[in-house]
Amino acid sequence: MRTLYHFRFSPFSRRVRLALAHKGLEVELREGRDVPAHLEEAHELSPLRTLPVYVDDGRVLSDSNAIVQWLDRAYPKAPRLWPDGELAAKALQTAALVDAVLDNVVNPGTRYWPLRDHPAWTSVCDECVGRARGAADALAAMATSETIAGAWSAADMYLLTMTLWFESMPERRTSSANIAQILTLGFSLPAALSRWADAHRKRPDVLRL
Tens-place pLDDT, residues 49-98: 899 999 999 999 999 999 999 999 999 999 999 999 999 999 999 999 99
Residue 1: pLDDT band (50, 70, 90) is confident
- Whole-model pTM over 0.85: yes
pLDDT confidence of residue 209: 83
Q: Cβ(136)–Cβ(193) under 8 Å?
A: yes
Residue 28: pLDDT band (50, 70, 90) is very high
Residue 1 carries which side chain, given as an amino acid letter? M
Give me the residue spans of the domains in the chain. 2-74, 86-207
Mean pLDDT of 26-38: 95
CATH number of 86-207: 1.20.1050
Residue 185: pLDDT band (50, 70, 90) is very high
Q: What value does the mean pLDDT of the chain take? A: 96
User: Which CATH number is correct for 2-74, 3.30.497.10, 3.40.50.300, 3.40.47.10, 3.40.30.10?
Assistant: 3.40.30.10
